[in-house]
Amino acid sequence: MEGRGANASVSGRMRRDPLTYAAIGAALLVIFPIAALAVMAFSGETGNLARAAQTVLPHAAGTTAGLLIGLALCTGLIGAMCAWLVSFFEFPGRRFFAWALMLPLAVPTYISAYAFVEFFTFTGPIQQIVRSVGGFELARDYWFPDIRSLPGAVLVLSLVLYPYVYLSMRALFVLQGRRAIEAAMLLGAGQRTILGSVLIPLARPALALGVVLALMEAINDVGAMQVLGVQTLTFSVFSLWVNQGDMAGSAQLALLLLGVVILLIWIERAARRGQQISEGSQSAADVPFQRLRLSPMRQAGAIVACALPLLLGFGVPFFTLGLYAWRYLPQGIDERLWGAIGTTITLAGLAALITVLVALVLGYAVRVNGTRMVRGLVRLASVGYAIPGTIIALGIFLPLARFDNLVDAFMRDWFGISTGLLITGSGATLVFAYAVRFMAVAEGSIDGSFRKLSPNLDLAAASYGYGRWATLQKILLPLMRPAIATAALLVFIDSVKELSATLLLRPFGIDTISIYVHELASRGRVEQAGLASLIIMAVSILPVIFVTRAAFKDQSV
């Protein structure tokens, strides 16, 4: 903040400059889908929402509430327990679990759902074992829980999304938990007292942050809900648009869903209100800390508690889809998959390039003119990550489709040429949606890099006659190459995994790798999608490694 204030004083003579206008433009790009959605919702007939309130809304709202409550409880319990065990206790395999517990985050929710359905279905290995042990032959001869249900959805999503809670709580435990435990032990407190009176109150903000992130990912999901047969509000928006063609009704329902997202953000902010992290001159992670050694029985319990989420959340999808990929590998990669890979690389690469360029403009605008207005615009441009992809797609599609039709009509009337759908028919809408959705990912990485660069660099460059753009190009950007590469890679990978917006915005005949997997799985041909699913998982592991290394550079923690 000190650096930004110094730069603000240097360039404060020109508040309204091109950088400020660029920040305004970037913020408007994010506002555009929401504003268009509101126009569609309020311009439609209110009878659409009334009919939805009588038919779709009660069931979808109840299902969504049940999913969010179950997910909050399960992700909170799994993530907090694992973070507590690996942070404060010594047991065999602790160092392995410390980083491996993040691996389920590399499995997109829809791929996890496909794998779990195959793993627990009648022909899957679990039910085969049950029939073999019990001597059963038919499904009606025994009872087995149905994974295609609301409890099944809670289980599947919890095992993939608990790392959000694990990461946030473990970071807090490493930073402050050790000091709190040492202070409590000096006062003679026992382990139960420390857990109930010290660690749980201390971890409340981190717990709220991790749970809210997991819930937002669940709200964004369409693919997993479709294969698991769970009708959430998001899936209802998708169904009203695609299956019934009710744009106004889906827009009205999407606004309600947006209200749920805003409520979750408010809950997370309220949980962190009044909480602050104190940092001394020496990081708590660098202070020697003696973890408690457990008895053999408790060591076994800790190993099981950490191994189960890892085996189920990452092991089941990897084993199931890896087995299918191995079976189909001799047949080679079909032409459609090659085309999907090429399309995905092109669209995700364009999205990464555009998003990083816009994020650089936003970050530099704050650096040279860090007024409250500019910071607010940058924050507004970063809220797209909290908005479900379905809502973004709905807000983008209709205005751009109308623009395409107007251009086509104009060209027909005046020049006798049909331009077709220039934007919505070319995949540009997908790039736009990816940029809006993942702007926060790029902006966070680049903003962090700008903060690390001393403002004296700008002052020294100005003394040599360098203007702002020359300073950015010749001095700052070379120093920021690692952060820029990381931001581009993260946006690229998130774009590869994105399914919700892609399902709604992709032009006819254009496949991405996520669409390829989803369509095969929807037709019950998950075996053929095994290799493509593994490709997505392999690519998704990269940001998990980056996040883990950035959060815990000391591998001993």
- Give pLDDT, residue 417: 81
Q: From CA 165, how far away is CA 68, in angstroms rounded?
A: 14
Domain boundaries along the sequence of the chain: 1-42+342-510, 44-276+293-317
- Give pLDDT, residue 49: 60
- Burial profile 55-88: b = 16 or more Cβ within 10 angstroms, e = fewer: ebbeebbebbebbbebbbebbbebbbbbbbbbbb
Domain 44-276+293-317 has CATH 1.10.3720.10: yes
Same fold, 1-42+342-510 and 44-276+293-317: yes
Does position 9 have pLDDT exceeding 50, yes or no? no
Tell which CATH classification among 3.60.70.12, 1.10.3720.10, 3.20.20.450, 2.160.10.10 matches the domain 1-42+342-510.
1.10.3720.10
CA angle centred on 284, ends 282 and 290, rounded to 5°: 130
- Give pLDDT, residue 8: 45
- Give pLDDT, residue 30: 79
Which residue in this structure is represented by tokens 């120093």? 479
- Give pLDDT, residue 476: 87
Q: From CA 531, how far away is CA 323, in angstroms rounded?
A: 9
Confidence category of residue 178, pLDDT binned at 50, 70, 90:
low
Average pLDDT on 185-196 reads 61
Cβ–Cβ under 8 Å, residues 90 and 291 = yes
Model-level pTM? 0.83
Confidence category of residue 10, pLDDT binned at 50, 70, 90:
very low
pLDDT tens digits along 425-438: 788 889 999 998 88
Choose between 406 and 202: higher pLDDT: 406
pLDDT tens digits along 235-249: 888 877 777 767 777
- Give pLDDT, residue 151: 93
Which residue in this structure is represented by tokens 């695609």? 242
Q: From CA 233, how far away is CA 258, in angstroms rounded?
A: 10
pLDDT tens digits along 454-472: 888 888 888 888 888 888 8
pLDDT tens digits along 347-361: 999 999 999 998 888
Strand extents, DSSP E, 52-169: 89-90
Average pLDDT taken over every residue of the chain? 80
Mapping DSSP onto H, E and C, the string for 402-424 reads: HHHHHHHHHHHHHHCCCCCCCCC
Host H or E run for residue 348 = helix 335-368
- Give pLDDT, residue 11: 44
Choose between 284 and 198: higher pLDDT: 198
Q: From CA 30, how far away is CA 165, in angstroms rounded?
A: 27
